[in-house]
Structure 1
Amino acid sequence: MPDNTPDSPADDTRLVPPPLAPAASAASATSAASEMTATATPPSATDGRSLTERAYDAIKHDIITLRLRPGETLNEAQLMQSTGLGRTPVHQAMHRLSLEGWVVILPRKGAMVAPVSLNDALEIIDVRMINETYCAALAARAATPDDLAAIEAVLARSQAAIAARDVAAMMRIDRDFHLAISRASRNQTLAELLRGLHERSLRFWFLALSTPSHLEGVYEEHLELFEALAAHDAERARQAIARHIEEFRTHILKAI
């Protein structure tokens, strides 16, 4: 599904640092970028997924990007129209979304988008701070040239997203960037934990980081972290990601 993000001011002309030169082969970087892009956006009708999976991804995408607002009542007929899918896949998708905490089912009243809570956001950030700083240190020690190429391939997508003021695209880049670092840590359990935390952070990301200056700031923080990883400097990587997460906390406190 293509990105449909809120319009952002078009008069911000601040310059963004250019992406770094590839750290490994172009083929490996392109392959990694394609893999992550495929999982970052709602699937199309021809991607081989089931109707239920397509409904789930489309509705979840609209929740994350705030097209469906926190606390908004959900109507299956309207969701059928917006997704272009039938009642059964939409109903099954709603059930899955409720199990994952994206939707609240109200007995005899229907369903609504789960509200957002400042306390929930801060708890997620605290858990990320503990686990993701450790993950970054592991990745700095263990990252191979292919890992660095995959991470840098994600970073290279930032320029187009920033130029277009595309908040949803930059949000997915942020997620993919962190997932690539998790893979480089060589700790599968930790990577799975962080994947769940990042998924839960996505709505807060969209709430807090929706201005052009924030998009550029995120890119600069990513670049600082990548340079630490490329230098295999575990302590520098730990500090860089701690600052990145702390900036997220600061913006969340202002937004909610």
Structure 2
Amino acid sequence: MRRNAAQGMPGKPATKKARPKSTRKASIATLSMPLKERAYQLIKHRILTCAFKPGENLNEAAVADMLKLGRTPVNQAFDRLRLEALVDVIPRKGIVVRHIHFDEVLQISEARILNEAYAIRLAAERASTAEISAMREILAEAAHLNGDIERFIMLDREFHMMIANAARNEVLSDILLNLNERSLRLWSISLADEEHKKSVNTEHHEIFLALCHRDASAAEEAMRRHIDSFRLTILKKLSDLQSDLGQMRESSAAQRKSLSLQK
């Protein structure tokens, strides 16, 4: 019986079903939410997408004004984000977006390689025709995106979570959901680079082809290469970012000193 290479399944392609709409906006606040939850979701979204950059000082009043919310829900949101280790409260500096440390990148990468390599092996055996078709649609949309980094990140996340779900292991899926959320800030930094976006599209295509052919070993190897490429890219980007922050601080200190001497 002929195998349909695009779907990785024998026989005629199944009737195409529409891919469920993306849940990329699910975590963003809506007007129906309580104010403290709305503030939390909006600020967290800005941190995870690096609209608020690692190391950036946040003024509570300015953030409240930006979000058109009162100081109380914003203060409650920052308390919650501090408990989640997304912000720090530093004496005489106020609220600072938590830095991303090199050790954190290495630990997340190790955990992703271990768990996603196994998930893709299971998915190569268990993914349905409908799931493979949905993955194809995700990759097709990602390949034609121009400039919409946030949408690209959400498609990247959706692709990886579809693999996790196709593994048919709820415990593993929950682990990968947590890892993907912890990776969001890293994706926001690495995928700002157009060349890296092209590499990601190529790497995803290699993973997908192996999955279509039900080749668990090839799929695992492609996934390992993909995550290792991510690790190397983000480490370089973080090094560049820290260098830029250092230069900004030196420039700011020099300006303050100059103003002090002029008085």
Using the size of structure 2 for normalisation, the TM-score is: 0.78
SS in 2 for 1:37: coil
**Take 1:53 and 1:159, find their aligned partners in 2: how far apart are those partners?**
35
1:65-84 counterparts in 2 under 5 A? Answer: 65-84=49-68
**Take 2:228 and 2:91, find their aligned partners in 1: how far apart are those partners?**
39
Q: What are structure 1's unaligned runs of at least 5 residues?
A: 1-19
**Take 1:89 and 1:195, find their aligned partners in 2: how far apart are those partners?**
27
**Residue 212 in 1 paired to residue 194 in 2?**
yes
Of stretches 192-201 and 48-57 in structure 1, the one that deviates more from structure 2 is 48-57
SS in 1 for 2:24: helix
Identity, in percent, stands at 39
Deviation of residue 37 (structure 1)? 3.2
**Take 1:76 and 1:147, find their aligned partners in 2: how far apart are those partners?**
44
**Take 1:190 and 1:170, find their aligned partners in 2: how far apart are those partners?**
24
Residue 162 of structure 2 aligns with an amino acid whose one-letter code is: A
Are 2:190 and 2:237, in contact at CA under 8 Å, matched by a contact in 1?
A: yes
**Take 1:236 and 1:175, find their aligned partners in 2: how far apart are those partners?**
21
**Take 2:192 and 2:22, find their aligned partners in 1: how far apart are those partners?**
26
| Deviation readout 1:89-148 (Å, 9 max, x if unpaired) | 322222222222211234686321001101110111011111110011011111112222
In structure 2, what is the equivalent of residue 27 of structure 1? 17
Distance 1:88 1:146, change over 3 A: farther
SS in 2 for 1:67: coil
1:30-45 counterparts in 2 under 5 A? Answer: 31=20, 34-39=21-26, 42-45=28-31
In structure 2, what is the equivalent of residue 11 of structure 1? none
Q: What are structure 2's unaligned runs of at least 5 residues?
A: 1-5, 8-12, 239-263
Distance 1:91 1:249, change over 3 A: same
Deviation of residue 193 (structure 1)? 0.9
Are 1:167 and 1:215, in contact at CA under 8 Å, matched by a contact in 2?
A: no
**Residue 237 in 1 paired to residue 219 in 2?**
yes
**Take 1:203 and 1:37, find their aligned partners in 2: how far apart are those partners?**
15
In structure 2, what is the equivalent of residue 140 of structure 1? 124
In structure 2, what is the equivalent of residue 115 of structure 1? 99
Residue 199 of structure 2 aligns with an amino acid whose one-letter code is: G
In structure 2, what is the equivalent of residue 225 of structure 1? 207
In structure 1, what is the equivalent of residue 82 of structure 2? 98
Using the size of structure 1 for normalisation, the TM-score is: 0.80
SS in 1 for 2:107: helix
Instruction: Give the total of aligned pairs.
Output: 228
Are 1:28 and 1:149, in contact at CA under 8 Å, matched by a contact in 2?
A: no
Which structure has the larger Rg? 2
**Residue 154 in 1 paired to residue 129 in 2?**
no
Out of 164, 171, 174, the residue aligned to residue 182 of structure 1 is 164
Q: Which has the higher contact order (CA 8 A, sep 6+)?
A: 1
Residue 37 of structure 1 aligns with an amino acid whose one-letter code is: R
SS in 1 for 2:177: helix
RMSD (CA atoms): 2.2
**Take 1:36 and 1:185, find their aligned partners in 2: how far apart are those partners?**
20
